[in-house]
């Protein structure tokens, strides 16, 4: 057992891609599961590389969404555009 305090964590700025991605997917997956984290991570990967379409990123995440994939992609796209991301 250690008595050291944990290392301080510096939160990312609101404009960071990680924050933008996770904010865009907030509320789309059932609460209490890790699907929201997985979806946010896949959107962040898409923002970083832009290899495939946003729809492919959402499909490849394999999450259980509370809506259809096209509806989720539309909502994520709108949220990303509100934060200044060009699609």
What per-residue confidence (pLDDT) applies to 32?
62
Query: Number of folded domains in the chain?
Result: 1
- Position 38 in a domain: yes
Average pLDDT, the chain: 87
- Position 54 in a domain: yes
Quickly list DSSP for the chain: ---SPPPP--PPPTTSHHHHHHHHTTTSS-TTSTHHHHHHHHHHHHHHH--S-HHHHHHHHT---SS-HHHHHHHHHHHHHHTT---
pTM for this predicted structure: 0.81
Share of the chain above pLDDT 90, in %: 41
Give the domain range for residue 64. 17-82
Residue range 17-54, pLDDT digits in tens: 889 998 899 888 776 678 888 999 999 999 999 889 99
Cβ–Cβ < 8 Å for 17, 47: yes
- Position 4 in a domain: no
- Position 7 in a domain: no
């Amino acid at each position: 057992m250690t008595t050291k305090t944990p290392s301080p964590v510096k939160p990312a700025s609101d404009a960071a891609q990680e924050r933008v991605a996770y904010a865009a997917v907030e509320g789309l997956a059932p609460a209490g599961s890790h699907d929201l984290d997985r979806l946010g991570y896949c959107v962040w990967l898409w923002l970083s590389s832009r290899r495939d379409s946003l729809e492919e990123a959402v499909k490849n995440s394999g999450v259980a969404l509370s809506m259809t994939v096209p509806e989720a992609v539309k909502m994520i796209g709108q949220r990303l555009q509100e934060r200044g991301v060009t699609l």
